[in-house]
Amino acid sequence: MASKNTPLTDVEKIRRLPWLVAGDSLNTAFFLLTFSGTVFILFLNELGLDAAQIGVMLSLVPLVGIVAPFMAPWVGRYGYKRTFITFWGIRNFVFALMLLTPLILAQFGEQKVFFWVAGIIIVFALCRAIAETGSYPWRKEAIPDAIRGKFIALNSMSTTVAGILVTVGASYVIDVGVGLSRFMTLMTTGIVIGLISVWVYAQVPGGAKKPSTAKTTSHVQGMKQSLRDGNFVRFLISLGLITMGATAVIAFVPLFMTEQVGLSDGNVVLLSVGTYLGALVSSYWWGWVADRYGSQPIMQFSIIILLLLPPSWLLIPRHSSASLPIAFFIAFVAGIGTLAWQISWVRYLFVNVMPPDNS
């Protein structure tokens, strides 16, 4: 067994990867029941927020993420894993304040509840951004490059199964429940699961802090050096454009399905099962192809699929018996394309963009 200061071998890393898979699966349940996905959008709609206010809420998490580059030096000194575990845990307690939302709404009305929810999301997003700053170098160390594509695929299969189970359960709760109480039930469950995931993540090795005696360039110099890397800059531009385009459209699909297509809240949540099934049946294939042929062909193919989604949604018949099955099929195809993009860009980042020493 390796000592604390001895780098882990690939065999030792692989033995501990099930903990990472379990943590990611639990985290999938957390974010589906709390701040991300259809449940949260329907929750905001139930609060009486309009589309513009919902858009502001959804923009807060990525907006706060801009603090990550400035936190990187501190994260390196504090420890990648230590930072992740600390702030991944704090975010659960921050989001628990959301359970007081019905009381705030009853006492102060819709206008005040908007600022209440926004404040929680900002602090939550800050904790998340700091945690993820430590997560990427830690994951790069914990997962051997030789199996990274296959691991991402297998991990995606596990998180997809978790997502399907959670989505089916959430759909049932939303269908049989009424008002805000159904969302409070789901969020409480998500917070408990999130706390368990923190303990599970703590079992994954690696992510030690940088030695204080190591000779490294300053953080600002390192950022300038990175921006002189043409491959890195092109990757950031591509990732940014795809993320903005996809988020701007997909974020409002649940509202489009309820208000324009005519699906019930429960059926809209159930559409996520189609997305997860598409990801599940294609995940291992995408991982194998990425390791065999590289990430770029998959990135290009997945972008084509994502571009076909908006016109497909617009062609769904309104208030028809065929609306749900057609929407479900489109969600299935979306799952295939979304996972292909996720596997390919993550693998490209770790294998082709980031230097081996996380510098």
- Evaluate whether residue 359 is within a structural domain: no
What pLDDT, on the 0 to 100 scale, is given for residue 2?
46
- Specify the higher pLDDT residue, 206 or 248: 206
Q: Which of 26-30, 130-134, 265-269, 330-334 has the lowest mean pLDDT?
A: 265-269
| Structure confidence at residue 3 as a pLDDT band (50, 70, 90) | very low
- Specify the higher pLDDT residue, 206 or 17: 17
- Evaluate whether residue 58 is within a structural domain: yes
- Specify the higher pLDDT residue, 268 or 188: 188
Question: Whole-number mean pLDDT of the chain?
Answer: 85
- Evaluate whether residue 3 is within a structural domain: no
Domain of 262, CATH number, reads: 1.20.1250.20
- Evaluate whether residue 311 is within a structural domain: yes
The whole-number average pLDDT for the span 153-182 is 88
- Evaluate whether residue 236 is within a structural domain: yes
- Evaluate whether residue 4 is within a structural domain: no
Structural domain including 123 reads 10-353
What pLDDT, on the 0 to 100 scale, is given for residue 324?
92
- Evaluate whether residue 259 is within a structural domain: yes
* Percent of the chain topping pLDDT 90: 35
| Structure confidence at residue 184 as a pLDDT band (50, 70, 90) | very high
DSSP 100: G
The whole-number average pLDDT for the span 58-79 is 82
The whole-number average pLDDT for the span 150-176 is 87
- Structure-block tokens of residue 147: 């199996």
Q: Which residues lie closer than 8 Å to 218 by C-beta, 6 or more apart?
A: none
The whole-number average pLDDT for the span 177-184 is 90
Count how many domains the chain has: 1
Query: Are 207 and 142 contacting, i.e. CB atoms less than 8 angstroms apart?
Result: yes
How open is the CA angle 51-238-279, to the nearest 5 degrees?
A: 70
- Evaluate whether residue 1 is within a structural domain: no
For residue 189, CA distances in Å to 30, 145, 169, 186 come to 8, 35, 11, 5
**What does the pLDDT look like over 107-119, one tens digit per residue?**
988 888 999 999 9
Query: Are 298 and 344 contacting, i.e. CB atoms less than 8 angstroms apart?
Result: yes
Query: Are 32 and 39 contacting, i.e. CB atoms less than 8 angstroms apart?
Result: yes
